[in-house]
A and B are shown apart, each in its own frame.
Chain A
Amino acid sequence: MAVKVIIPTPLRAYTGRKEAVEVQAATVAEALSALTNQYGELKKHLFADDGRLRSFVNVYVNDEDIRYLQKDQTGLREGDTVSIVPSIAGGAGRAA
């Protein structure tokens, strides 16, 4: 089914400036896979080397965080909107 993936501003450089991309997918995992197959440069910013979503990358279906649904196996319906939202983390990086 067709779903819309909203691309956050920092990653639009890798989707030809598109703010949203329509993909065919039945789950969140399929949607992200379809997205990164279409726009390969996105992959390293969403997924770590082990293939898992980076720890600071969050995904919402409509307004629900997928961590509170079925994570990347969350099912999608025709017309759903998938949003990619970072959490921002960092710090001085040495023991306090």
Chain B
Amino acid sequence: MSRAPLKIHDELMRRIHAHGVETYPHECCGALLGRDGDESREVLDLLPLANRRDDSPRNRFEVTADDVRLAEKTAREKRIELIGWYHSHPDSPARPSEFDREHAWPWYSYIIVSVQKGEARDTTSWRLHDDRAAYDAEEIETVAHPASIK
């Protein structure tokens, strides 16, 4: 099934990349706040969060339930929705791992940025199938101007 691309303002994409570079060689993570509609989904703001996996931050990240509640509250205050998450894969491809799949829910957009030797490279987005068996790649459309609905 084809799906409308995930729109994101290029400045927000630059912030995701900068976050991945800043935390390299550890994984960064954060929330995607925006709007979801039948025909489009757009990231309108970010909430960078701390990676709580201090035992293995180079290849794992965790956003605690309290931070998820904070992200939901932040979205509500801005009258938008929590539509997904971003994280980095230091020196690894921007593809979801088996570990990612086991810890995901459908509907959310999961942006992954590959940070190679300290530089942000490929960026991809993924949505989990209803049956949890696999992900679909979600096209990312970077836009030069933020949405009028902000």
Contact = CB atoms under 8 A, between A and B. Distances in A.
Interface residues of A, number: 25
Contacts of A65: 65
A8 B69 CA distance: 11
Interface stretch (A9-17, A20-28, A31-39, A70-78): A9-17
B134 to A, nearest CB: 14
Interface in B34-56: 53, 56
**Residue in A41, A87, A92, A95 whose Cβ sees the most chain B Cβ within 10 Å:** A92
Interface string B97-118: 1111001111110100000000
The size bracket of the interface on B is: 35 or more
A17 to B, nearest CB: 12
B63 interface: yes
Interface of A: 8-11, 13, 41, 44-45, 55-56, 58, 60, 65, 85-96
